[in-house]
Structure 1
């Protein structure tokens, strides 16, 4: 797999490690070549499979919702078309000699949609809000991962939010203090949880502050309409500091729960972008050349065991290994999904910057050898066709592709190991709640990198991670992850973690993503070369056909 971000990310990290000033490159916005004829109507419409979790930057926890939030708010840095940092509210930052203090310099032209200036205090408020137990942010753990001074203590309820290592030196200077050096810290501040929030609006409207009639943001767009489970609309924020370089006037997200229905509406020119249903990429690539896109994406797909309150059989590592071994990943990616996905035998995608894919023992076996080993392990554990009957539920969120993967995997378990699995699908928010509360036996899991470094995936397996839904607890993994945060050579550490995971098997890696989508040929500016696939609507535009 081509690592599209490797050189850029390493250069950025080198600057941080050296304690020098990191100057973000020129701001990236809709760059329209001279002579290009723009479409008369600059409205971009796309489909979402589910309703987003929130429009609040400190609350949102799904990737599609984060995409909307990136339009409504702007953090210190954005990502450019290749995934490298570019200026957002901050133009650049300085780093102290001991790599513990970051000073971000904010532009004085950034404004909220109500005309107020965006200040360092707005970031201080938002970051304290993110770690405060009262907020109950599902991403509070991310702020702890950033090594912010006192973040862990605040999240645990052992310190006041005012002790967080962030302060406003003046309106346009933000100082951040870390508890220990973190080489990729600057890569982490383009994440939605770190975006500023308008205290005066939240004070006035409470939980209803993100409703269109109350909404105030500092991004390139404002929320003008939201019909739950139907659509949301965002329109140009004329107060945005770079509004002159924004081309799209309106962005419409339609919630369409059936991928095939969305495809039909795409073909009827009702959508500019939609996901490709499982298995249809080859045919659509022939039918719609230039519109069907499949590129590596920094995401993984896995099955998660409930090790806290799931079936007793899951406490036996032999059972967990057997279930993993019996899954023919090539069948899933080549015959079911057919969209350029990669069979996964380790948790971290190979496209991750600086990550050297480790050798995993069962990855080198033939599928016949894996099947034989799976049956042997099940028999040793007292289960299988000649032993105790094993049955459990598998939970996934409603989606045709998730359903197809689940059906194929459970058929493999039935045929090879005599296991009965009951499939249960739920709407997105309900699914997230039940999975997060361990109200499941086995559940679908997937993760898209919050930043381009292996820890964004492996930290999910840390004992106290907010998204360790399996409740996996391994002291050595915790130790290795902690060491990696300040190590100059993380490769051996990450390799050992992956090898532990392949033996303990708290999760079952299934495949690593490719971005499979249909995009109309008149839409330009999509960041194809960014493996994180973080897009900003302000960077897009539509040309006349």
Structure 2
């Protein structure tokens, strides 16, 4: 009898031990991130794969919720002055940094000043230009302490604007203006981004950053909403090879992956189930920039001819299988205060007519049959879909008599080269809306935008129209100015937009809380895993 009891007792102990082990098991999200971030310093980021990591580590005054709408973040509430030029934010009393120190209004003042300081040379500095004196400071005309941000008290931040800015909250949700920890930055300098030195205020903390392998973030116990964060750890992988990433997802090694080979869409739906294939329209463009600093791409006729010859319908239909839409404008559709985008004057021609007109333009410019040889190098970031697009474009241009070569770099190196002003012929890029306003797309081509005007195009009338739009308070008149600016871009073709994008993700059924949204923001703090 005692032997039987002891057996039952042992079984009960084993069951309790197993239950305890299950209860204490870590919940880890394995997240494919489409490439290697250049940096985790928010002042020097430029692409979304950096933003996904930074948005898990840091929290701005406001953040994007699961549905893509702006919700309170480090600030629990805010008020707006009657003239819409002063915002006062109340920070959460329990908002803390990962080292346990309080998040204060002074932290945001320090961070925003650092962001606009010309010595810092933040690539996204123009994002903050609606703030009082930001542009003057960033261009060296005014001292950094004149920025229109001030700490009213430890938990109250006031932001004063140059002009009413209806998209200010979306701007403040951007990962580039997430706060940094003043003490850590001043103590560690550029090393503040390293594991063990980084002090962050978001739902997670950085513990590992192994180049070209993985980035690990773990739950921040000092985060104000830690009780509602369901994940213990998120591991980001630089899954630049989409086909390999899809296989890893299929094998259960990845729970989420950003992107997949478009030609595998139907196969993946059949193999994995359509509910794990997430494709959603977004305010995003897929475009190519021409380097207008050298011949022949400083000739609008050459740029126009090359843009005209690209078979956008083929790219969208055959390469992206409908996950992208052919496009002939600059500003994507779906921006409420802008209306219908403009479109190129060749948009309604069939492809053969476009090719004929393109040949005429090239001949007029002195290229093509009997003219100077036309040599073009297409640069793109390594990705099977981008390679197919570049190859198809090369075919279109070879039909015009051009000799075309292809050059590819990993995503980090590709954008670093463009951001730093490297010379090229034609280069692939994409742009996802930082906020739902046409200005966010048109500002890319302002001549003073040294970071994102990759082709260094300059048009004084265009610059003047954009400058005027920043001071025009009448929404209809402002929209008209922006439409006129878009027409100039389309006539000059410093960039040529090929498609408007859809976001594409692989999301395991084990992952809960995922929602498609137009801004393609997916913070890990809102996700859980079975």
TM-score computed with the length of structure 1 as normaliser: 0.89
Alpha-carbon distance change, 488 to 355 in structure 1, aligned in 2, over 3 angstroms:
closer
Find the counterpart in structure 2 of residue 193 from structure 1. Answer: 176
What is the DSSP-based 3-state SS (H/G/I as helix, E as strand, rest coil) of the residue aligned with 2:152? strand
Hey, what does 1:459 align to over in structure 2?
Answer: 443
> Are 2:241 and 1:258 equivalent residues in the alignment?
yes
Q: Deviation digits for residues 230-265 of structure 1, max 9, x if unmatched?
A: 100011001000111111111111123311111111
1:167 is aligned to 150
Tell me the alpha carbon deviations over residues 266-315 of structure 1, each in whole angstroms, 9 at most, x when there is no partner. 1111001222113221222232221112111221111101112x3x1212
How well do the aligned residues superpose, as a CA RMSD in angstroms? Answer: 1.8
Counterpart in 1 of 2:80?
95
Equivalent residue, structure 2, for 1:492: 480
Q: How does 1:123-162 map to 2 (within 5 A)?
A: 123-144=108-129, 147-162=130-145
Contact map agreement 2:66 2:523 (CA 8 A) in 1: no
Distance 1:255 1:222 in 2: 19
Alpha-carbon displacement from aligned partner over 1:494-542 (angstroms, at most 9, x marks no partner): 32222211111000111111111211111111121x2011111010011
Over 3 Å counting, the alpha-carbon distance change for 1:419 and 1:55 in structure 2 is same
Deviation for aligned residue 1:480: 2.5
Distance change (3 Å), C-alpha of 1:285 and 1:56: same
Distance 1:359 1:434 in 2: 30
**Among residues 38, 63, 71, which one is paired with 1:86 in the alignment?**
71
Residue 264 to residue 38, structure 1, CA distance change in 2 (3 Å):
farther
1:325-404 correspondence to structure 2 within 5 Å: 325-360=308-343, 361-404=345-388
| TM-aligned CA deviation for residue 41 of structure 1 | 5.0
User: 2:398 pairs with 409, 414, 423, which one?
Assistant: 414
Structure 1 partner of 2:512: 524
- 1:453-473 alpha-carbon deviations (Å, 9 max, x no partner): 111111111111131111121
- Partner of residue 226, structure 1: 209
Q: 1:58 aligns to what SS in structure 2? A: helix
**Offset of residue 354 of structure 1:** 3.1
CA shift, 1:39, in A, is 12
Q: Any idea what SS the aligned residue of 1:81 has?
A: coil
Q: In 2, Cα distance between the equivalents of 1:518 and 1:192?
A: 23
- What's the CA shift string for 1:408-427, capped at 9, x where partnerless? 10111102x01111111112
Change (3 A) 1:339 1:526: farther
Three-state SS of the structure 1 residue aligned to 2:44 is coil
Q: Per the alignment, do residues 378 and 223 of structure 1 end up closer, same or farther by CA in structure 2, a change over 3 Å counting?
A: same
CA–CA separation in structure 2 for the residues paired with 1:390 and 1:379: 11
Give 3-state SS (helix, strand or coil) of 2:266's partner: helix
The CA distance in 1 between the partners of 2:271 and 2:338, in whole Å, is: 36
d(CA) in 1 for partners of 2:146 and 2:237? 42
Q: Which shifted more, 237-246 or 251-260? A: 251-260
Query: SS at 1:99's partner residue?
Result: coil
State how far apart, in whole Å, the 2-side matches of 1:280 and 1:512 are: 20
Gaps of 5+ in 1: 1-36
What is the distance in 2 between the residues matched to 1:326 and 1:341? 19
Residue aligned with 1:480, SS: helix
Matches of 2:126 and 2:337, distance apart in 1: 23
Contact 2:170–2:434 under 8 Å retained in 1: no
Q: For residues 39 and 472 of structure 1, do their structure 2 counterparts lie closer, same or farther at Cα, with a shift above 3 Å needed?
A: farther
How far does the alpha carbon of each residue in 1:21-65 deviate from its partner, in whole angstroms, 9 at most, with x for none? xxxxxxxxxxxxxxxx99965211122332102112222222111
Shift of residue 487, structure 1, vs aligned partner: 3.5
Distance 2:71 2:25 in 1: 29
| 8 Å Cα contact 2:105/2:155 also seen in 1 | yes
Q: Please give the alpha-carbon distance, in whole angstroms, between the structure 1 residues aligned to 2:426 and 2:342.
A: 26
Q: After TM superposition, give the deviation of residue 428 of structure 1 in Å.
A: 2.7
How far apart, CA to CA, are the structure 2 residues paired with 1:39 and 1:483?
59
CA distance, structure 2, for counterparts of residue 369 and residue 179 of structure 1: 48
Pairing 1:277–2:261 present: yes
Could you tell me the TM-score, scaled by structure 2's length? Answer: 0.91
Larger radius of gyration: 2
1:244 aligned partner? 227
Contact 1:70 1:219 in 2 (8 A): yes
Rounded to whole Å, the distance in 2 between the matches of 1:39 and 1:317 is 64
Q: Which runs of 5+ in 2 are unaligned?
A: 1-21
Larger deviation, residues 439-448 vs 180-189: 180-189
Please tell me whether the aligned partners of residues 318 and 381 of structure 1 are also in contact (alpha carbons under 8 angstroms). yes
> 1:353 & 1:56 partners in 2: Cα distance?
33
The answer to whether residue 286 in structure 2 is matched with residue 286 in structure 1 is no
Alignment match, 1:504: 492
1:208 CA drift (Å): 0.9
The CA distance in 1 between the partners of 2:522 and 2:342, in whole Å, is: 33
Q: Partner residue of 2:251?
A: 268
